Structure 1
């Protein structure tokens, strides 16, 4: 019934137009009869309009799968809910509008949250010679161009997109010249394209979330592995020093064992890789240095300059110990006469700077002092703080090496 009503309305519009023309002719009080050429033109127009009407019905049934007043309309409106903000939604809408075939004059008015364009059917540029027939688009002199208007209606966390597809001529022309289902086709195409882009974006977001979760798990595993490598490294070295003193000086060995117990008491609770503080790390390193002073005697002098306010700053465990042991093992122990080691800290609202310096042999050409300890330190800084922390090592003036760790005040990425 909808098809019959549609065709009847089309015929009625053309008959009404003929009646108006006859009345106007008689009103002119012309002695001649109504020209037959006009009747012929009217008849040809009616036949073409009926042909376009039948084509319109066929295409509407093909695209929509049904025929009713909503799908038969020459002017189509569609609403799509988009789960993104205004700017992101407007970008998606502009992308799908620009992807339409034969679209021209696309303009995005971001202030008005609109995207407009014109699909030019009848005046499409001819294809170059040699284009295959299946790719050629025949011109239709009766096909009107189609206006595309997309409006974004912002909401709370989501937006509503309103697509309007309509012929560019006045609404009165719809009674005489159907658009052949073009507006319906374009409206459905826009909805499908926007829905597809939303689904693709959600798929990428889910993939990114899975990737981020995997990276976090990998980072945690790497930190655990690095910590497991660091803790035994210092513990074994300290036990080796204690073992040596037991053989040579039992009295000093007894003192060293006391310091070793203190060192272990301060070290073992932090083997889980959790953050420590500057004060706790300083106590740990001091206990170790006292052991080394018993071993080296007057060949080792320790200088500590750490303000009280800096002792509460958070830092990863064992990093200060790594620098202290590196200074002793590679800088002062091989040097005849030994030397001194300095532990300095400076802090403010932007971050913490912690330096361990010595006046030992300095950076050596054989690469001593740049082994697994410092490599693990750099890797732990990267995994824990990303690019917001740094580690530098260089020559100390006039002799020795100075190594500095700079940490941010903000919470690390993996506390």
Structure 2
């Protein structure tokens, strides 16, 4: 036996829990009185039987539940052998003391509680049975409460593991995107320095703006739509220098949604896919439209382009890398309430549409 099973904790007595258990004890006493009256006594003297039941059952309850809470505490399971001994001793004491208290309160002579009359033996057995039933009930409540607490702890651990996994996925995504971005941009910068210094300076300025926006948002657990759109402004600015007039873009973020909290790195993988697989392979390039809106408590983020579309021969499995990552992150945070869909535009292009619950502190000002 572990030492902590028999040594009481130095905590205050849980009177509130004792009062809560007393409600069930009173109900059990009434049921006992009904049983004695209509089964053992032929329907006679209900009020006297109720008084006797309250005296005996009340003492048994105070002894058993009071000692249990005082010695083992509210949230612990008593060891079986000491607790069984407590039930037996308490039932005997309750039978003797309760019978004497009943006789004094009712002002009647009752048989000696320690006599071996058939009625006293029957009442003692019945008291033990009732006490056992009560303890089984309280024990079941304790077990259910303990299982609920363990389930809550397990859920918290699972959520913590899920958050860590999503953070690892985000870091992996950043590790895949950022070096790719930097190498391509630096290669373009190196080529521009020799024959177009002014454009090279503009590219360098855009790169600095992009890195600043990345550092301010992508390393945090959450960011704002304003920061996310600032990152897209810097990223698309870099791409527009690289692609020139072949890339045109618009960013549509309503003022009311600027401070809405969202997970970081939601938009960049979608915008990058739109450029790499939709606009870059297209000779004349095209237009990208990034928009935030709401609809009945749902935040909607869309990335639309008029590029080559979803089914052109140049599409590769790499297109789905960032999409799968975003889906997993949204599913981990919002379950089935979040979605990411890819829709073909007509006559050309595609739209990536993100939806997930709007934070409760934000209303839905826009449709």
Scaled by the length of structure 2, the TM-score of the pair is 0.63
CA distance in 1 between partners of 2:292 and 2:284 (Å): 27
Match of 2:145 among 196, 202, 211: 202
The Cα shift of 1:247 comes to 4.6
Matched, 1:244 2:193: no
Residues of 1 paired with 2:18 and 2:251: CA distance?
55
Give the one of 163, 166, 179 matched to 1:223.
166
Q: Over the residues paired in the alignment, what is the CA RMSD in angstroms? A: 4.3
**Corresponding residue for residue 293 of structure 1:** 240
1:391 and 1:89 map into 2 onto residues whose CA distance is: 53
Say which of 283, 289, 305 aligns to 1:342.
289
The 8 Å contact of residues 302 and 342 in structure 1, kept in 2 or not, is answered as yes
Does structure 2 conserve the Cα–Cα contact (< 8 Å) formed by 1:355 and 1:403?
A: yes
Q: Which protein has the larger Cα radius of gyration, Structure 1 or Structure 2?
A: 1
Give the C-alpha shift of residue 317 in structure 1.
Answer: 1.4
- 1:406 counterpart residue number: 355
Structure 2 counterpart of 1:394, from 327, 343, 354: 343
SS of 1:371 mapped into structure 2: helix
Aligned residues of 1:331 and 1:361 also touching (Cα < 8 A): yes
Maintained 8 Å contact 2:209/2:234: yes
CA contact under 8 A between 1:357 and 1:402: conserved in structure 2? yes
Matched, 1:212 2:162: no
- In structure 1, runs of 5+ residues without a counterpart are 1-80, 98-113, 124-142, 152-159, 166-170
**Could you report, residue by residue, the CA deviation over 1:12-57 in whole angstroms, capped at 9, with x for unpaired residues?**
xxxxxxxxxxxxxxxxxxxxxxxxxxxxxxxxxxxxxxxxxxxxxx
* In structure 2, distance between residues paired with 1:256 and 1:369: 26
CA contact under 8 A between 1:305 and 1:345: conserved in structure 2?
yes
Q: For residue 134 of structure 2, what is the aligned residue in structure 1?
A: 191
CA offsets 1:355-375 (integer angstroms, 9 cap, x no match): 100111211376546422111
Greater strand proportion: 1
SS at match of 1:319: coil
* Alignment: residue pair count: 281
State the alpha-carbon separation in 2 of the partners of residues 321 and 332 from structure 1: 15
- The alpha-carbon deviation at position 269 of structure 1 amounts to 2.7
Aligned-residue offset at 1:319: 0.7
Which segment drifts farther, 285-294 or 248-257?
248-257
Distance (whole Å) between structure 1 residues aligned to residue 149 and residue 185 of structure 2? 55
Aligned to 2:278: 331
**Higher helix proportion:** 2
* Structure 2 unaligned spans of 5+: 1-14, 55-65, 67-94, 96-105, 112-116, 362-367
State TM-score, norm by structure 1.
0.57
Secondary structure in 2 aligned to 1:193?
A: helix
Q: Of 371, 374, 390, which residue of structure 1 is paired with 2:323?
A: 374
SS in 1 for 2:251: strand
